[in-house]
Structures are given as structure tokens and as C-alpha cells.
């Protein structure tokens, strides 16, 4: 053997050793502490209403299918196989063998049927629409679930991976004190029994929520042992941004969510911190009321040329620099680039003042007008956006008044259709474009973000897409919807941003998927 070959051999042995080390690098044990800006409210998958619950529920409650790590598809969960019949009207799922709830009782088809029936009941919560296509859930045998649909629904498979379709123990839930579903759910949510990788240990409201590993969880780690790697996860509520960051910097907690964009650069430069920017479905925009009149006053925003002029006059790159400190990217459609069937690249309206001025001159308001925007009091991001737009739009003759109000006040004006403009943001709950499109563009849902905007073509395309099982045809429908909406819609397209999470360097395997869910099942703490 020549020395040369020896070196090669040594190198391959070293490489092999390296890869083995990588494969067994996952370490077990330890509790990960995670700082959140706000506490959870109600740990019931069906009756909850807020992201503070949605984003952590999947750690406690498992679903038949799971969202993939990129948030764009589904993978096996409590069900190992799934198929949709030719006519799109029957979904058949095969249950995983030997699965149990966190209290050790087996998960039966009866639990599955009951859970899906509860989740789709129109009287329960606000998420039942996701499962509205179901006409009946049955179990032909102990290992099979058959779901009959009243119409084909291309968004149905992803819907089975959404938090509200979680499988819960029927007997335990029904044994709870109380008369109504809400009363039973309230009692149940105090000590929930699910089948996620973790289970609730204790909850001091407003302070700490402790999860411990579920010994009966079905998934296996890279080392062949059951997941999760961690013994537990402790959520600490730290509302103040500066304090949350200080606690990560001082090493008291292992991670912190929602780092303000202004601090991202500083934490990226900190050698002790791993500043993660997880891809998200979050888009920021300005919603415009396009009704010809608002409370009797003439509304210039009803003129599509005015809206396009405003879009061209808004310098997205400048706003991204000022508000997100360069973290964001311009939106190429009203839906985020991480949403399935998204189309477009780069800003829909690149900054072009001359074009904006020309459009204004050709509109019904060549001399400009005064307008008002509602932003959240205390939100630095929204204030930054509004201030920048105020300056940018003054160049096309728009005199913008900024009104800072609290969320409930703004929601009321929004729902009544009496607002003129408001800052808005959105994240998807499901790996499918239909949810966001239903709210943003399809007029029967909420009048296209309560803007009063309506396009018959968009409404027809959306309705057709709801039962279109041919992927290519559905993609065409959504491409056309995006084309119309992006060019004429009731919206100023701004930017999309990732989820900024600060972690200690030894935290590995944690993921916040684009839908927002915090996934701790494969997280572990390296001990060097």
C-alpha cells in the first residue's frame, strides 16, 4: 500500500467515524426551557381560538397525519397509510399498530370517530369548517378508518394534520364533570390526555407551563429508541422582549421566540447564541377598504388605479430595511412563498414612483386625497410601516393620518367595514392555499378581509378549486386567482418574514414549521 492510499484510507475511516458520530449525536435527557411572549389560554384542540395555543398543541395532541417539516405536505402520524378514492369521496386510513394515549390506554377507532365528529360539529369552536366536507366517519375494522365526504375536497388530507383534528380519548373526555362540551373540555384541558410526544405536567397560568415526555409516544428517534429525546419542555412566559433576550443571553433559558427584528443582527453576532430564522407563512400587508363610500364619505380607495399607484409608490425594500432590519423579503403574492401553489417571484409592484404618479394622474383623484390608517398601539413594526408609507405616499398626493388603537377597537371597525386602511398580518394554519384565499379573496367568507372587494371570476375559480382533485387544474385556478388579486385586490403587498428564534448553541433539532407549530419532539440538548 502506498502512503498515498494509506492517507486515503485514513481519511475514509475518519469520515466514516465522523458520520457515525453524527448519527448517534442525538443526546437524551434534560429539560429544555423556552421563553414565550404570552401564555397559552386554553389547551383544547377544538375550542381554542389563538396562536398561543395552536402553536404548541401538537406537542400534546397527535393527529392522524402530521405536517411535514417544511409545512408544505403531510406525513404519517397516528395513521400509517392514507388514500383517496378515484371519485374523491372516500378517504381510507390505516391506523398505526399498538398506539396509546399518554395514560397508557389504547387508541381505538372509536376515539378517532368521536374526535373527528366533535371537531367537525358546527357548534364547536371556529375551526370546524376545515372538516366540513365530512359526511360520515366509520371503522370497517379495528385498524381502518373510512371517511365519507359529501364532495371531493383537495384540502382535506392536509386538514387531517391540523391541530383541531387531534385524536382525543373519548371515554376520558366524556367522563369529565359538566353538562356541555365546553364544560367538559374545560375540565379535560386542566390535565389533558393526548398522544403527542409530551404531556402536561403542571401549569402556573401566566408563568410556567411544564411538559414531560410521553412514555407511550409511538415515533422512534435516530438511535432506535422512542422519541422524544428530551425529558421535558418548560415554557416560561416573558412578555417583555428585552427581558426575554436577556434571559437567553444569561443562559437561564434555552430558547426564546419572537425576537424583535431590531435585535436579530446583534444576536446573530453573539457567539453564544444560535439566532434561527425559521421559514414561515407570515405575510405583512395593508388592507384597504374598497367600498365606494365609507359611512357616507366618498372613498378614493375604491379606484383600482389609486390602489395600484399606492402599491407602486410603496418602496418595499426601504420598508423591509427600516422595519425588519433587512430580515424580510418582498411578497411575490398575497400568500407566502412557502404556501403550496404560490406563484410569482420578486415584488408584484416594484418601486416605481413615475408609474405611480402616472396612475394617480389617470385616476379619479389626480390631486390626491386624505386617508386614515389604523395601526396597533405599541406595535413598533406597524408604526414603522405606517410612518414610511406616510412619507412615500405624500409623493403621490396622499395625506395619510396614522391612528393608533388597540386590537379589539381595530377589529370592530374592521368587521363593521368602517375602517379605511389597516395594517395586517397573516400566518397559515394548514398546508394548503384555500384557507388564506378564502379569507383574503373569496367574497362570501368575510367580504375579502372585510374590504368589500369582490371579483366574480375569483369567487367562481375558488368554488371550482374547492372540489378540483386534479393537481394541475387546481394550480391553474390558484395561479389565476393570485394574478387577479395581486393586481386589483384590496391590499398593499409588503413583505414576508421568518420566525426569529434565539437558541443556545447546544440546542439541536428544534423546529418551528412555516405554519407556526413549535416542534420539540426531535429537539435535544448537547452536553459537549
Partner 1 sequence: MSLPEFLGRRLLQLVPTLLFILIVVFVLVRLLPGDPASAILGDRALDADVERINRELGLDRPLPVQFWAFLKSVATGNLGNSISMKIPVTQLIWERLPITMLLTFMAATIAVVVAVPLAFVAALRRDRVADSVIRGGFQVGLSMPVFYVGLILLTVFGAKLRWFPVGGYGDGFLDHLYHLFLPAVTLALSLSAILMRNLRSAIIGVVDAEYVTFARAKGLRARLILFRHVLRNALISTLALFGLSIGTLLGGAVITETVFAVPGAGRLMIDSIYGRDYPVVQGLTIALAVLVSVTFVLTDILQAWLDPRVTR
Site residues for partner 1 per CB under 8 A: 38, 41-42, 47, 49-50, 123, 126, 182, 185-186, 189-190, 204-207, 236-240, 242-244, 246-247, 249-250, 252, 405-409, 411-415, 424, 426, 439, 445-446, 449
**Shortest distance (Å) from residue 463 CB to partner 1:** 17
Q: Which is nearer to partner 1, 188 or 393 (CB)?
A: 188
Residue 90: is it exposed, middle or buried by C-beta count within 10 angstroms (0-12/13-18/19+)?
middle
Q: Give the separation between CA 267 and CA 275, rounded to whole angstroms.
A: 6
Q: Which is nearer to partner 1, 509 or 514 (CB)?
A: 514
**Shortest distance (Å) from residue 126 CB to partner 1:** 5
Q: Which is nearer to partner 1, 294 or 313 (CB)?
A: 294
DSSP 8-state class, residue 420: S
**Shortest distance (Å) from residue 250 CB to partner 1:** 4
Q: Which is nearer to partner 1, 123 or 528 (CB)?
A: 123
Q: Which is nearer to partner 1, 354 or 408 (CB)?
A: 408
Q: Which is nearer to partner 1, 345 or 406 (CB)?
A: 406
190: which 3 cell numbers? 386542566
Q: Which is nearer to partner 1, 1 or 269 (CB)?
A: 269
Q: Which is nearer to partner 1, 106 or 239 (CB)?
A: 239
Task: List CB contacts of 347: < 8 A, sequence separation 6 or more.
Answer: 316, 330, 331, 332, 493
**Shortest distance (Å) from residue 206 CB to partner 1:** 3
37: which 3 cell numbers? 411572549
179: which 3 cell numbers? 353538562
**Shortest distance (Å) from residue 410 CB to partner 1:** 8
**Shortest distance (Å) from residue 136 CB to partner 1:** 24
Q: Give the separation between CA 494 and CA 283, rounded to whole angstroms.
A: 8
Q: Give the separation between CA 483 and CA 472, rounded to whole angstroms.
A: 16
How far is CA 47 from each of CA 82, 107, 186, rounded to the nearest angstrom? 26, 21, 9
Task: Quote the Cα angle for 483-486-491, to 5°.
Answer: 160
**Shortest distance (Å) from residue 243 CB to partner 1:** 5
3-state secondary structure labels for all residues of 33-102: EEEECCCCCCCCCCCCCCHHHHHHHCCCCCCCEEECCCCCCEEECCEEEEEECCCCCEEEEEECCCCECC
Q: Which is nearer to partner 1, 360 or 386 (CB)?
A: 386
**Shortest distance (Å) from residue 240 CB to partner 1:** 5
- Residue 223 region by backbone torsions, left for phi larger than 0, else alpha for psi between -120 and 50, else beta: alpha
Q: Give the separation between CA 519 and CA 435, rounded to whole angstroms.
A: 22
Nearest partner of 84 among 498, 467, 487, 478, judged by Cα: 467
**Shortest distance (Å) from residue 309 CB to partner 1:** 26
Q: Which is nearer to partner 1, 259 or 347 (CB)?
A: 259
491: which 3 cell numbers? 391590499
Cβ atoms 258, 241 nearer than 8 A: yes
Q: Which is nearer to partner 1, 94 or 409 (CB)?
A: 409
**Shortest distance (Å) from residue 405 CB to partner 1:** 8
**Shortest distance (Å) from residue 246 CB to partner 1:** 5
DSSP string, 203-261: EETTTEEEEEE-TT---B-TTSSBSPSSSEEEEEE---HHHHHHHHHTTSSSEES---H
Phi, psi angle pair for 385, to nearest 5°: -60, -50
Amino acid at each position: 500500500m502506498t502512503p498515498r492510499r494509506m492517507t486515503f484510507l485514513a481519511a475514509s475511516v475518519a469520515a466514516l467515524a465522523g458520520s457515525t458520530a453524527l448519527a448517534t449525536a442525538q443526546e437524551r435527557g434534560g429539560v429544555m426551557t423556552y421563553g414565550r411572549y404570552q401564555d397559552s389560554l386554553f389547551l383544547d384542540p377544538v375550542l381554542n381560538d389563538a396562536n398561543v395555543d395552536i402553536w404548541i398543541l401538537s406537542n400534546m395532541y397527535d393527529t392522524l397525519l402530521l405536517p411535514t417539516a417544511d409545512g408544505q405536505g403531510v406525513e404519517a402520524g397516528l395513521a400509517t397509510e392514507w388514500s383517496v378514492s378515484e371519485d374523491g369521496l372516500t378517504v381510507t386510513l390505516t391506523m398505526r399498530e399498538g398506539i396509546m394515549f399518554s395514560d397508557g390506554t389504547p387508541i381505538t377507532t372509536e376515539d378517532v370517530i368521536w374526535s373527528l365528529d366533535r371537531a367537525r360539529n358546527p357548534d364547536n369552536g371556529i375551526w370546524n369548517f376545515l372538516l366540513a366536507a365530512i359526511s360520515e366517519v366509520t371503522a370497517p375494522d379495528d385498524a381502518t378508518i373510512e371517511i365519507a365526504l359529501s364532495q371531493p375536497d383537495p384540502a382535506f388530507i392536509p386538514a387531517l394534520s391540523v391541530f383541531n383534528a387531534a385524536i382525543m380519548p373519548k371515554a376520558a373526555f366524556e367522563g369529565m364533570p359538566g353538562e356541555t362540551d365546553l364544560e367538559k373540555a374545560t375540565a379535560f384541558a386542566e390535565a389533558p390526555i393526548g398522544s403527542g410526544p409530551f404531556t402536561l405536567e403542571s401549569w402556573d397560568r401566566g408563568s410556567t407551563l411544564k411538559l414531560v415526555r410521553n412514555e407511550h409516544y409511538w415515533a422512534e428517534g435516530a438511535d432506535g429508541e422512542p422519541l422524544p429525546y428530551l425529558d421535558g419542555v418548560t415554557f416560561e412566559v416573558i412578555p417583555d422582549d428585552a427581558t426575554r433576550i436577556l434571559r437567553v443571553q444569561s443562559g437561564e433559558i434555552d430558547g426564546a421566540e419572537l425576537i424583535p427584528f431590531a435585535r436579530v443582527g446583534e444576536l446573530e453576532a453573539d457567539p453564544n447564541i444560535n439566532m434561527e430564522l425559521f421559514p414561515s407563512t407570515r405575510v405583512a400587508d395593508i388592507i384597504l377598504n374598497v367600498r365606494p363610500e365609507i359611512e357616507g364619505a366618498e372613498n378614493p380607495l375604491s379606484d383600482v388605479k389609486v390602489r395600484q399607484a399606492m402599491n407602486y409608490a410603496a418602496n418595499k425594500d426601504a420598508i423591509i430595511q427600516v422595519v425588519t432590519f433587512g430580515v424580510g423579503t418582498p411578497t411575490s403574492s398575497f400568500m407566502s412563498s412557502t404556501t403550496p401553489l404560490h406563484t410569482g417571484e420578486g415584488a408584484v409592484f416594484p418601486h416605481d414612483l413615475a408609474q405611480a404618479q402616472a396612475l394617480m394622474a389617470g385616476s379619479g383623484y389626480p390631486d390626491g386625497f386624505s386617508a386614515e390608517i389604523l395601526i396597533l398601539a405599541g406595535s413598533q413594526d406597524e408604526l414603522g410601516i405606517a410612518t414610511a408609507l406616510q412619507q412615500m405616499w405624500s409623493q403621490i398626493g396622499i395625506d395619510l393620518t396614522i391612528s393608533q388603537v388597540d386590537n379589539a377597537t381595530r377589529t370592530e371597525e374592521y368587521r363593521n367595514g368602517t375602517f379605511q386602511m389597516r395594517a395586517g398580518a397573516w400566518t397559515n394554519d394548514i398546508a394548503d392555499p384555500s384557507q388564506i384565499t378564502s379569507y383574503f379573496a373569496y367574497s362570501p367568507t368575510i367580504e375579502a378581509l372585510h374590504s368589500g372587494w369582490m371579483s366574480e371570476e375569483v369567487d367562481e375559480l375558488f368554488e371550482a378549486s374547492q372540489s378540483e382533485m386534479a393537481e394541475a387544474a387546481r394550480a391553474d385556478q390558484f395561479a389565476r386567482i393570485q394574478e387577479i388579486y395581486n393586481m386589483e385586490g384590496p391590499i398593499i403587498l409588503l413583505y414576508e418574514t421568518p420566525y426569529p428564534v434565539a437558541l443556545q448553541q447546544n440546542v439541536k433539532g428544534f423546529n418551528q414549521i412555516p405554519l407556526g407549530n413549535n416542534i420539540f419532539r426531535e429537539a435535544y440538548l448537547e452536553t459537549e
